[in-house]
Amino acid sequence: MTSARRPTWRLCSAGGALVTAWWLCLASAMPVQASSDAATAGTTRVQVWFSNDRLNKDLMDCKAVFPVERRVPRTLAVAAASLRELFAGPTPEETVAGYRSVFSTTSAGLLKSVHIRDGTAYVDLHDPVQELSGATASCGAAEFQSQVSQTLLRFHTISRVIYAFEGKPRDFYGWMNESCGPANDNCDPQPFGRGH
């Protein structure tokens, strides 16, 4: 675990023009921890969460994940930047430290888009098929969703996550062996449509 300081967060206003609300929320979700040293100037600190069997006290708990810190070029789209870091998988150094994931360099381009509306992060992914084969096993699926959820739920504007492949939630949840229901808005594709 590399994060030593607790970041502070800007508040996200619920008001504002609808067209830009999600973008503002996305921007305001970013940690405002200022970088004082020159080496980190112009960067944003993000956390991504991976599994780690050395840190996990209950190896049957597939949802146990642990944070690592990354620095990315300063951006307002912090949620997207965080997911891109997550989907690139652990670094070699993190792997040595026991962090692991279904994500790796081969899945680095997995994110198609993410937008936030009314507390829900809509994560649209490119259809991975081959790259994430272990992610649909009972334990692997729990790891997948826990790593993404924990990475996003750090942003106070996000309280839940809904996924899609290429704009189609039904494809994602079918791949995950999960039913469409209230928890995923019955796989409604509308929020993933054009305009986001």
Partner 1 sequence: MYTVKVYKGDYLDRQLSANKDKAVAYVEHHFNSAGPTASYALVIVGSNASQTSVNWGSWYAKAVAEQFNTKVYRDDGVSRGGLDGRGDGNLKHTAMPAVLLEPLFVSNPQQAGIVRSVGGQQALARILVESIRRFFPQGGLIAFSVGHKYKKSRPKDRGAELAGGGNEADFAEMVLKQAAEMLVGEHAAPQPRKLRVMKGDTVLLETQVDEDAVLVWSSDRNLLFIPD
Q: How many CB atoms lie within 10 A of CB 195?
A: 6
Site string for partner 1, 129-148 (x = CB under 8 A): x---xx-xxxxxxxx-x---
Residue with tokens 């808005």: 185
Amino acid occupying residue 38: A
Task: Among 22, 66, 175, 192, indicate the residue that binds partner 1 (CB under 8 A).
Answer: 175
Residues 37-96 that bind partner 1 (CB under 8 A): 51, 53, 59-60, 62-63
Site string for partner 1, 86-105 (x = CB under 8 A): --------------x-----
Separation CA 46–CA 63 (nearest Å): 20
Single out the segment in contact with partner 1 by CB under 8 A; choices: 34-42, 105-113, 114-122, 174-182.
174-182
155: contact with partner 1 by CB under 8 A: no
44: tokens are 């944003």
Cα separation values, 4 from 21, 58, 67, 157, 158, Å: 31, 24, 11, 23, 23
**Min CB(100)–partner 1 separation in Å:** 6
CB 59 within 8 Å of CB 106? no
Nearer to partner 1, 31 or 90 (CB): 90
Q: For residue 73, report the phi and psi dihedrals to the nearest 5 degrees.
A: -55, 140
13: contact with partner 1 by CB under 8 A: no
- H or E element that contains 70: strand 66-73
Give the interface size with partner 1 as a residue count (CB under 8 A). 27
Q: Which residues bind partner 1 (CB under 8 A)?
A: 51, 53, 59-60, 62-63, 100, 129, 133-134, 136-143, 145, 171, 174-179, 183
